[in-house]
Amino acid sequence: MFVRGATIVSLKQVGKSFANGTQALERLDLDVRAGDFVTLLGPSGCGKSTALRMIASLTQPSRGQVAWSGVRTAGDVGFVFQEPTLMPWATVEKNVALPLDLRGRRDEAVRRRVAEALERVGLAGFANAYPRELSGGMKMRVSIARALVTNAKVLLMDEPFAALDEITRFKLNNDLMALAHSLGMTVVFVTHSVFESVFLSSRIVVMTPRPGRVFRELQIDEASPRSDAFRTSAVYAEYCRRVSEALHAAMEAAP
């Protein structure tokens, strides 16, 4: 385990160019530290998701490097996509167990861990349901439970709540915040939403338009977990104003 604040993974001068000539990222520097809830915020196409995929080793940088502290094994990274990305042919329980199942583990301990993960996301009674029988918010909870089941060092979340209605989104934001706090999770979160980023994050990384790089980092020095009351506070409004300003400045600073 990492000491809180110790660097888990670093992106050093990372660049990414695609075969069609698109340059998604340029000289991106980012440290992810244990216990961080860091949000990548920026306009569409600025390479936020590409950066996330690089941390997960789902794509390789064209330039620079992604350096992990210590050895990284399968299961060290949990990934939650914009869509729930569940296997529709498998029950909730089997979906959540997938990361362990792929390692050949199917014992009673696995069942317990799956049950715990489902309990944590509030889906204890739905182990035998199929994804089709669940609402959008519930499917996303299953996806989060699957990411939690390996006790991942880092949880990567790529606009996980973008497709949900505002009420469900608020509820899931609250639950995620409580979960991240109680488990001491390290989270890298991607969103377009200034409000969501301020509510959830301990640190917000504002990115420039494509090719994306870090424009400014802002600390959100408010205690976690934060409640609904925080959303209506003057402090929250002030943070949102500062982040919005940074985002606008990033857009104007674009080459």
Partner 1 sequence: MKTGSDTRKLGLLRGRANLDILARAVLPMVTILLAGGAWELVVRVNDLPPYILPSPSLVATTLVSDWPILWESLIVTLTTTFEGLLLAFIGGVGLAILFNQSRLVEYSFYPFAVILQVTPIVAIAPLLLIYLPQRAAVLACAWIVAFFPVLANTTLGLHSVDRNLGDLFQLYGASRWQILLRLKLPSALPYMLEGLKIAGGLSLIGAVVAEISAGSAGAGSGLAYRIAESGYRLNIPRMFAALFLLSVAGVVIFFVLSLFANLLLRRWHESATAPDV
Residues 101-140 that bind partner 1 (CB under 8 A): 101-103, 122-126, 129-133, 135, 138
When asked if residue 53 is in the footprint of partner 1 (CB under 8 A), the reply is yes
Minimum Å gap between C-beta 4 and partner 1 is: 25
Residues in the chain: 255
CA 41 to CA 45: how far, in whole Å?
Answer: 11
Cis omega before residue 225 (within 30°)?
yes
Q: 3-state DSSP helix/strand/coil percent for the chain, to nearest 5?
A: 40, 25, 40
When asked if residue 89 is in the footprint of partner 1 (CB under 8 A), the reply is yes
CB count, 10 Å around CB of 110?
18
Bridge partners (DSSP) of residue 157 are 80, 189
List phi, psi (to 5°) of 180.
-60, -40
When asked if residue 99 is in the footprint of partner 1 (CB under 8 A), the reply is yes
Nearer to partner 1, 51 or 123 (CB): 123
Q: How many binding residues for partner 1 (CB under 8 A)? A: 33
Minimum Å gap between C-beta 89 and partner 1 is: 5
| Window contacting partner 1 (CB under 8 A); options: 25-33, 76-84, 180-188, 198-206 | 76-84
Minimum Å gap between C-beta 191 and partner 1 is: 17
Nearer to partner 1, 53 or 113 (CB): 53
Q: Are 113 and 190 in contact (CB under 8 A)?
A: no
CA 120 to CA 105: how far, in whole Å?
Answer: 21
Minimum Å gap between C-beta 168 and partner 1 is: 13
CA 44 to CA 116: how far, in whole Å?
Answer: 36
Q: Footprint of partner 1 on this chain (CB under 8 A)?
A: 53, 56-58, 74-75, 77, 79, 81, 83, 85, 87-90, 98-99, 101-103, 122-126, 129-133, 135, 138, 150
